[in-house]
Structure 1
Amino acid sequence: MSVAGPRYPAAKADAPLVVFDFDHTLYDGDSGSHLIRWMIRRSTWRMLLALLIAPVAGPMIAWLPTRRRGIGAFIWVGTIGFRRRRDLDELIDRYVAANTEAIRARLLPVALDVLHRHREAGDRVVVATGAPPELARAILAFVAHEDVPVVGTQVGRRFGAVIATRHCHHAMKMRMLREAGFVGEVAAAYSDSTADLPLLQAARRPVVVNPKRDSVDLFRRLLPPGTPILNWGCRDRGGEGTATTAR
């Protein structure tokens, strides 16, 4: 899915590398959960199966070592019967097209303005997300008209469905960025999550946006003094409110 958007100067190979998380950073909420919920609600039997596995798979998502398996279990419920990995990409495109207005309402204008400014400056901008990359890519292209590269959780066909096989999360996010060719110093990184501390700590300029309120103190302890901790429009999140960019 691609939609023409603004024209930006081409980023040079040695341009500053800028990394954005997606959920609770550019998008107000957990985009992957919204997608999975929609996939499961397509049929009654999928909803019943999700309820059956929820007592086991739900708590797994909250614990880092088992997070990928927990998410994968619900993706499995939503994709049973898929014969190709790209079937999920096609379903994601259908989801985004069917929910454009609701998705647009969740994109954060201040965040998109920051992203625009980096692109206008010729920076190398990439989105790194725990969601399937086609989801962030489709939302940004079809809804926000942004054609930025996306690195995200890898999926594959297993057990008669499509499930997460490699979760773009915590230290793995940094590894997957490097494997995708985004090498060199991270000039700036934007994220809400303590799971992205490896990314934020690697950045010359880390910016915390829309953090959970109970994680603010942890960010202040583990990131350099003066690190911006901002709220870009997530009402249920912490950070200082701002109507301007953090650049």
Structure 2
Amino acid sequence: MSKSVYPRPRPEAPLVVFDFDHTLYDGDSGGHLVKWLLVRNPLRALVAVAASLVLGPMTAFLPTRRHGISGYIWIGTFGLHGRRSFDSLIDRYVATHREEIQARLLPVALEVFREHRAAGDCVVVATGAPPELARAILKFVAHEDVPVVGTAVGPRLGAVVATRHCHNEEKMRMLRERGYGEVAVAYSDSSADLPLLKAARAPVVVNPKASRVPMFRKVLPPGTPILNWGCADRAGSRDPLAVHREADGQ
């Protein structure tokens, strides 16, 4: 579908926010990019393996996650000079992995995405991945014009690192700074997006980890849909009508 089919969102249009990884895309798009950055050079890969003794645990905990991710990106981008060079490298990665990436885009998710756009809603993608990565992937399905709020990167010590991670409460701050107000609908898989899901008038959990489902049911409003849009290793109802039944309290 061409992007010209979609109407321009009205000033009063409801704001609909989509997470990207495990929501529109089956997997961790930023992780796949970083892996490619590292394995494309044997020396980088060796350094990353050695550094994982420190960086690996850091990525597992929210307070240190940005620093751990930045460490891996620094190893993978040493020798680059600034965001434009990094964006060009992202575009090369996406172009050379086209079929693999397209196969990870979730058809059910994209249909919901299209429906919101066709209705004239203000649709935004808010992701922990670099925004250029999400935009380049969305270009495959003619959605590259959708605004993307993502992790900011910048130069440091001869490489590129994450300077601001679009994650948890920071994701909400970054949305507000860009002028987005009340969230009408939010779609995400992640407990890290609880601030976003709680802020939405209509939160929708998609493709969550099975271990997180009881928590989502406890902290989100009764009847919040918990759906599976095609991630085989994730939980959630695969019934396309479940969203309507849960919202109606059936």
Report the TM-score, using the length of structure 2 for normalisation.
0.94
- Alignment correspondent of 2:150: 152
Name the CA distance, whole Å, in 2 between partners of 1:192 and 1:208. Answer: 5
Name the CA distance, whole Å, in 1 between partners of 2:242 and 2:102. Answer: 20
SS at match of 1:241: coil
Q: CA deviation at 1:12?
A: 1.3
Cα offsets for 1:82-122 (capped at 9, x unmatched):
01221110000001111111000000000000000000000
- Alignment correspondent of 1:191: 188
Alignment of 1:213 with 2:218, yes or no, is no
On the 8 A contact 1:21/1:127 being kept in 2, the answer is yes
Structure 1: segments with no counterpart, 5+ residues: none
Matching residue's letter, 1:83: H
Judged with a 3 Å threshold, the aligned counterparts in structure 2 of structure 1 residues 246 and 112 are, in CA distance, closer, same or farther, namely farther
Matching residue's letter, 1:205: A
Name the CA distance, whole Å, in 2 between partners of 1:48 and 1:153. Answer: 26
- Alignment correspondent of 1:223: 220
- Alignment correspondent of 1:44: 42
Percent identity reads: 64
Which of 219, 238, 241 is the aligned partner of 1:241?
238
Cα offsets for 1:162-187 (capped at 9, x unmatched):
0001000000000001111212x110
Name the CA distance, whole Å, in 2 between partners of 1:78 and 1:7. Answer: 39
Name the CA distance, whole Å, in 2 between partners of 1:104 and 1:61. Answer: 27
On the 8 A contact 1:209/1:239 being kept in 2, the answer is yes
- The residue correspondences of 1:1-247 to structure 2 (distance < 5 A) are 5-141=3-139, 143-146=140-143, 147-183=145-181, 185-243=182-240, 246=243
Name the CA distance, whole Å, in 2 between partners of 1:208 and 1:6. Answer: 29
SS at match of 1:215: helix
Matching residue's letter, 1:203: A
* Cα RMSD (Å): 1.4
On the 8 A contact 1:73/1:163 being kept in 2, the answer is yes
Matching residue's letter, 1:116: R
Name the CA distance, whole Å, in 2 between partners of 1:82 and 1:95. Answer: 15
SS at match of 1:29: coil
Name the CA distance, whole Å, in 1 between partners of 2:34 and 2:82. Answer: 18
Q: CA deviation at 1:245?
A: 8.7
Matching residue's letter, 1:206: P
- The number of residue pairs the alignment matches comes to 243
On the 8 A contact 1:232/1:242 being kept in 2, the answer is no
